[in-house]
Amino acid sequence: MCDALYDLAVEIKTNLAQIEARIARAAERSGRARRDIRLIGVSKRQPLARLEAAWAAGLRAFGENYAQELGAKAGHPPLARAEWHFIGHLQRNKVKLVLPYATWIHGLDCVALAEVIERRATKPISCLMEVNIAGEPNKHGVAPDDVTQLVEALQGCSHVQLKGLMCMPPPVDTPETNRPHFHRLATLAKTLGLAELSMGMSDDFEMAIEEGATMVRIGTAIFGDR
């Protein structure tokens, strides 16, 4: 192995070990089990070598937010054996590109998108509804007040399996600012009887875990800057 690849392998392995330890501590602090929290490595705009290093270091779930990029990476052995999450805004005309690879779709935000997934999928697919939890203008996601209505609209689906909620609060200087948003998403999910909560990124995943996250989406803290 050449030096650069060796350095990369060490760097990513070290990053992953640190993230693992922080997840375990956050889980312990909040009286939760580590196995109840899924680590998704967000590999968007990262070169394949970094994903392969993460796979070699034991990472088994990856997240991408561009349909074409997902296809290019997920088709590549050994990454084809990973669990792939589509975490971005999904356009209806891209659904067919995502379905062969993704086992989770995190950005469900309207009935029209759900209808396309329902029609195109050949087997059940786990979905999370994206909630615009901070009520930001021009941001994707369902308004908190409209979530119940959309959940009901999805109940007849056989392929679209709504498993939980997802959010991406605004970037802030101190992560603590976003704690109420995580708390509110968790409350909403509980009210609706939904088990999965996809929330928390590199800067705030520990707080998200404390508030009940079952999936954290971590990019730069594992793979480095994009």
Ligand X SMILES: *Cc1c(COP(=O)(O)O)cnc(C)c1O
Q: What are phi and psi of 135, to 5 degrees?
A: 60, 40
C-beta separation of 201 from 219 below 8 A: yes
57 in helix, strand or coil? Answer: coil
Q: Name the percent of the chain in helix, strand, coil, to the closest 5.
A: 45, 20, 35
Dist. CA 108–CA 160, nearest whole Å: 10
Please identify, among the stretches 20-28, 78-86, 119-127, 218-226, the one whose residues bind ligand X according to the rule CB under 6 A: 218-226
Say how far apart CA 139 and CA 136 lie, in whole Å.
6
- Closest by CA position to 171, among listed 120, 134, 144: 134
From 20-28, 31-39, 71-79, 211-219, span contacting ligand X (CB under 6 A) = 211-219
108 binds ligand X (CB under 6 A): no
Q: How far is the CB of 29 from ligand X (least distance, A)?
A: 20
Which of 16, 26, 42, 129 binds ligand X (CB under 6 A)? It is 42
Stretch (H or E) spanning 10 = helix 3-29
Q: Which of residues 167-206 bind ligand X (CB under 6 A)?
A: 168, 201-202
CB closer to ligand X, 138 vs 155: 138
Give the x-and-dash track for 52-91 against ligand X (CB under 6 A).
Answer: -------------x---------------------xx---
Which residue has its beta carbon closest to ligand X? 219
Total of residues contacting ligand X (CB under 6 A): 13
Cα 6 to its chain centre, rounded Å, is 28
Give residues in contact with ligand X (CB under 6 A): 42, 44, 65, 87-88, 168, 201-202, 217-221
